A = this chain, B = another copy of it.
Amino acid sequence: MKQDKSIIQSLTDTDFYKFTMGQFVWKLFPNVNVTYGFKNRTKEVPLAKIIDEGQLREELDHARTLKFTNSELHYIGGTFEYGNRMFSEEFVNFLQSVSLPEYLLEQSNDGYRLEFSGPWHFAIYWETLALSIINELYNRALTKDMTNFQRNLFLADGMVRLGKKNKEIKRFRDLFFSDFGTRRRYSRKHQDFIVGALVEEFSETKQFLGTSNVSLAMKYGVMPMGTSAHELFMVTAGLNDGSDMAMQGSQNQIFEKWWEMYGYGLSIALPDTFGSAFTFKTFLREWLVKWKGFRQDSGDPIYFAQKLLFLYKKHEIDPKEKVIIFSDGLDVGKIIKLHRDFSGKIRCTYGWGTNLTNDVGTPPLSLVVKPIRANGYNLVKLSDNLAKAIGRQEDIERYKKVFTYDETFFEPCTY
């Protein structure tokens, strides 16, 4: 059957945070139109020369035919790991009507321009699906001239690497991690293999906490992992464009509404959209007290952790009760280094992405799909690493002023 060959076979083959954010924007921002843009940060790779446009369209078109199945709606509606009934009956009803909006695809300088526009609460579901499709088509293209044996050898090599990683991780029984690699995976099948192997390998030590991939969390009965993403802050800052004060205030409004909707269960703040320094200055003390912690997603993780420890201490909050989720370009060396440096001082967990699910031999790409316009306003992300900044240069400069951004950290994204 044709369907079996398609890369995306389920709308839940995406990250859990698409649903936590999905409900949030469906409820609070029903009238916002967002355009998401695809960006290849690995500029030296001419994607349009490698990935066939017809195949890309075929995969995107197939994803548009999908609807949430009955069992998937049960799963989402029945989520209990983050506290009380986090998804409302009304939201689950709404999901029954969801299918992916149209896309715009064209070639531009050996690359692809790919955009998704629509009401935020529909367009939000494209992100990781589009990234998974492009990554898998890329890897298929790179391996298409291989013999079956060569391709198997390739995966065997990935398996050997995974074995080594597991052995390293098991040396630290208090080191807990999750799979965050849906968007960057080598292939759907490979991520499935990785998660299945981790469930088995860490069944005794319980160090593997779960996966961000909802389909795989369902399949393997592990915890669906997720927090929130930059898009929430990018879109709402954009909607307030024109008033510096309103833009500055928009981030805390999101934090406030997020707590109102999800409470302690999902209270991990992502602080780096406009620089963590701004967030650490403006995040209220009472929130520091009650929120679980923060996610570190760009810049120097050691510097970040030190700043955060300092912040908690300044407010006389015991950081041992708090959490950092490291999720930026991790590999086993970085994980162990961070764990050695900080695990006695603050609770650390690791959202392991590309290097977990796309470590088989082909050089991974650094791809993102981010919102670029909302109700006509251009959007911006700065992050703690200017190599990850998104937006028109003039807007980036403007946002730097508004958010008193003075980082100079710049490190090209290898993935």
Contacts and interface: CB of A to CB of B under 8 A. Distances in A.
Interface of A: 69-81, 84-85, 89, 92-93, 217-223
B73 A78 contact: yes
Contacts of A69: 221
B70 A92 contact: no
Contacts of A80: 73-74, 77, 89, 92-93
A221 B78 CA distance: 15
A93 B220 CA distance: 19
A78 B88 CA distance: 10
A80 B70 CA distance: 9
Contact of A75 (B75, B84, B89): B75
A74 B70 CA distance: 12
8 contacts: A70-B221, A70-B222, A71-B221, A73-B78, A74-B80, A77-B79, A78-B78, A85-B85
A218 B69 CA distance: 10
A90 B221 CA distance: 20
Given A89-B80, A92-B80, A74 B73 contact: no
A84 B90 CA distance: 10
A65 B80 CA distance: 23
A219 B69 CA distance: 10
Nearest to A220: B71
Nearest to A93: B80
A280 to B, nearest CB: 35
Output the residue of A75, A93, A217 with the most chain B CB within 10 A. A75
Nearest to A68: B221
Nearest to A75: B74
Contacts of A222: 70
A349 B71 CA distance: 23
A215 to B, nearest CB: 11
6 closest pairs, A vs B, by CB? A78-B78, A77-B78, A74-B78, A69-B221, A70-B221, A74-B75
